[in-house]
Amino acid sequence: MVLDEFSKYNNVNYLLTRKKKYNPSGRLQTEKEAMGIDVEIRELLKNYSIPHKEIAGMPENAQTIGKDVMKLLKLEKTDLIPSSIPCMLSK
């Protein structure tokens, strides 16, 4: 049922890979358990043939994802962001 609903839309999926040292603060899983969940998510994406792009979970990659989505939507950054708001995408 969830996959049926998911499939109704033109989705863009990213799997953010962990690059920082594991911080257990506020987490329910140990680092080993979290790594197991990483494997489960990859298997889920593979088993359901969900296209996705793996990208490092780093702040600078937010720009990469934003640019990818804007290209897919064929939008310019000025179509989405008021000129009064500083734009990180201008780099």
Instruction: Choose between 23 and 79: higher pLDDT.
Output: 23
**Residue extents of the structural domains in the chain:** 1-57, 59-91
pLDDT tens, residue by residue, 21-76: 999 999 999 999 999 999 999 999 999 999 999 999 999 999 999 999 988 888 65
Which residue has tokens 């939507």?
A: 73
Alpha-carbon gap, residue 10 to 87, rounded angstroms: 26
Q: Has this prediction a pTM greater than 0.85? A: no
